[in-house]
Every structure is written in C-alpha cells, then in structure tokens.
C-alpha cells in the first residue's frame, strides 16, 4: 500500500510538472542568426584563430576573448538571454554532441557583406576582409538543417517556434565604398543591390519554413568613431549638433527607408509570416544624442571616443588595432558607447537590446520576453 501511495504521488507530481511546462513554454524554441561582426559570436575567431591571450576583447564579461568584437556581450546575446535561451554557438565552432543546436545557431561572420566578393572585385573597390557573405551563411544553414529536423512536417513545426534574424548586414558593403572614396556620392547606387541580397535570403528562409523573421536596419554610421576618423572632415557644417556626420546619417536614413519598402512588399507576398524591423538607427542614435542620460561620457569629442585604441581625436587609428601593442584600454568601458572604433561596448549593446526586446525599436514587437534585460 505504501509503495502504491509513493507511486501515485510521484506520478501526479510528474504529470503536473509536464502540464505546467507545456502550459508555459519559452516564447521561442530556437534562434538562428545571420550577420556580421555586430552579432558574430565566434565564427571569424574560429576561422582565423588567434593565440593572443592578452586581447582585451571579451574582458569585461567573459574575462577572456570570446570570439566577439566587443568587451562583452552583444545584442544577440542579450536577446537570447531575455528569451531563456543559451548564448548562440557559432556554426564553425560546433562540436558534435557537445552543444544543443536545437536551441539555435549563429552563422554571423565578422567582416561579412550582403553582396558576394565578385561585386567588389568588379567595381575595383577595397575588398571586404572576408568572402563569407550572407549567401554563404545561408548555405551553412541549409547544410545544418538535416541535423535540426528530419522531414518537412517536423521542420515546419520546429521553425514555426523559432526566431530568425537576417542581419544587421550591409554595413561592410557600405564601408567598402567609404574606404574607397571617402564620400557618399557613390553610396546610393549600392543600396538596391544590398537590399535585394537581404530580401532574397529572407525569402529563401521563408521557403525553408521560417515564419518569424527579423530584418534590421543599419546604424547611424555618421556617429561611428571609425567613420568619423576616416572622413576626418574639418568643416563644422558637415556635423550635426551632436557631433555626428550629418550626410552619412542621412544616407543611412535613406537606406533604411528603402529597406522598409522592400520589407513591406515581402510582407504582402507572405501574409502568413511575421517580419519584424529593428530600428537600429533610432535605437543607437539616442545614445549619442543624450549620452549622459545613459551613463556615458559626453562632450562633442568624448561621446565618440573609443575605449580601446590609439589616436586623436577619437582614440582611433585604422593602422593601430585594439589589442595591438600600441593601443590602450580605458579604465571603465561602461562609460563609453564605442569600444574599438567600429564596434560598440557591452553597455551600449545592452541598452540597444533592451530597446528592441522591451520596445519601442522593434516593429511589430517580438513576443514578450521571459526575462527582463538587467
């Protein structure tokens, strides 16, 4: 009789646990991410291994280089945490049997472009640092797919509960023109090509079964420390009241408006799919407009100074990389928006992620997160 009672209690507890678990599943079963260094969690670091154990990258949060181009976590890390999922493993760093790829994988690669290398060669532009374009990342996903699900029905059910992020991507395509010409006259002609590449990959993911996809816009590059250093304009009227290059930000607003138009057309063609736009421009721009409000150093120059680097006036020199012998690291990265010239600090990425997950910079909104971003 005693054994029967114990069995009944055990069975009831197990049953209730399953009911509660099924009643409160995670908002997303998995996250699959494509992009460049803004969201690469280790693909480029695996592809180009470094033996530099003294690198300041990853030093704030991970206490060692983590394959991320920042001092700590990236936007994608905060998003995964908010939805109760582990940080996404990098595709090139997957070790058979040691990671649960069913909760998501990261295909983003630092230096990646939306367009393939052929475009830059044909146009005689300074080529990107890698040929791992967005289409290559899509191929990686397709190769991994049989390990995620076995047939169409299983894949459709699984991807229906997954979140896909296509970017941010396109920033390196734009940077290639800036490095080659140092002006924005030639930039507009590349916009339709970048957007076409992004929409094509997004369409293919929809065909693969994705039903909730994020297509982010681009950042205010006129406030980027590396761009400010490269352009190095001595004309005061080329800067806005906050210290950003106005024409470059106007270009990004044009780019984002064209991307939004393409997204709307894609929505109309796929009304069963939720396509979310991340307003990275507005999300990041607010930090540069009111840095003191968010705890950052402020002033026409101090707001844009990179934490890690070397050079005047923004502590950036494209020939002296963060982590090199000549570079220095600031004492408190949390007071800086910019980390190394091209990338932001964990503190800035946390605020941007918070603006996405908790609003108002995702349109339409993502599902309600499991956890608040602290």
**Residues noted as catalytic:** 37, 340, 343
Task: Output the DSSP codes for 318-361.
Answer: TTB-TTSTT-EE-S-GGG-SBSSSSSB-HHHHHHHHHHHHSSSS
User: Which two tokens mark 85?
Assistant: 């999922």
Give the phi and the psi of residue 258 in degrees, each rounded to 5: -65, -40
**CA nearest 173: which of 238, 251, 257?**
251
User: Which two tokens mark 58?
Assistant: 């990853």
**CA nearest 67: which of 86, 91, 85?**
91
User: In sequence order, what are the residues at sequence separation of 6 or more whose Cβ sits closer than 8 angstroms to the Cβ of residue 23?
Assistant: none
17: buried, middle or exposed (CB in 10 Å: 19+, 13-18, 0-12)? Answer: exposed
Tell me how far apart the alpha carbons of residues 180 and 45 are, in angstroms, rounded to a whole number: 26
Tell me how far apart the alpha carbons of residues 13 and 18 are, in angstroms, rounded to a whole number: 9
Question: H or E segment at 112?
Answer: none
**CA nearest 35: which of 78, 4, 96, 76?**
76
């Amino acid at each position: 009789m005693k054994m029967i009672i114990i069995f009944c209690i055990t069975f009831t507890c197990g049953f209730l646990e399953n009911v509660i678990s099924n009643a409160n599943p995670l908002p997303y079963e998995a996250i699959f991410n494509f992009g460049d260094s803004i969201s690469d969690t280790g693909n480029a670091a695996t592809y180009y291994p470094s033996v530099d154990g003294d690198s300041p990258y990853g030093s704030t949060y991970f206490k060692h280089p983590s394959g991320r181009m920042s001092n700590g976590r990236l936007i994608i890390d905060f998003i995964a945490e908010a939805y109760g999922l582990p940080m996404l493993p990098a595709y090139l760093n997957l070790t058979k049997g040691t990671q649960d790829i069913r909760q998501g994988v990261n295909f983003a690669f630092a230096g990646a472009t939306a367009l393939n290398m052929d475009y830059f060669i044909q146009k005689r532009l300074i080529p990107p640092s890698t040929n791992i374009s967005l289409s290559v990342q899509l191929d990686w996903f397709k190769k991994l797919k049989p390990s995620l699900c076995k047939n169409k029905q299983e894949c459709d059910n699984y991807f229906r509960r997954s979140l896909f992020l296509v970017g941010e991507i396109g920033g390196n395509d734009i940077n290639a023109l800036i490095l080659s010409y140092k002006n924005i006259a030639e930039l507009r002609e590349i916009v339709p090509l970048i957007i076409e590449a992004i929409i094509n990959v997004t369409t293919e993911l929809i065909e693969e079964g994705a039903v909730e996809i994020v297509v982010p816009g681009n950042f205010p590059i006129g406030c980027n420390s590396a761009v400010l250093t490269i352009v190095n304009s001595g004309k005061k009227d080329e800067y806005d009241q906050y210290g950003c290059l106005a024409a470059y930000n106007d270009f990004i607003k044009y780019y984002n408006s064209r991307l939004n138009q393409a997204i709307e057309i894609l929505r109309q063609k796929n009304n069963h799919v939720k396509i979310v736009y991340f307003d990275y421009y507005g999300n990041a721009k607010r930090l540069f407009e009111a840095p003191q409000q968010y705890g950052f150093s402020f002033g026409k120059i101090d707001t844009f100074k990179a934490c890690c680097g070397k050079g005047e006036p923004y502590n950036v020199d494209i020939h002296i990389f963060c982590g090199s012998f000549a570079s220095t690291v600031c004492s408190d990265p949390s007071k800086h928006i910019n980390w190394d010239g091209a990338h932001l600090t964990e503190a800035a990425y946390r605020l941007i992620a918070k603006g996405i997950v908790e609003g108002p910079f995702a349109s339409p909104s993502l599902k309600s997160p499991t956890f608040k971003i602290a």
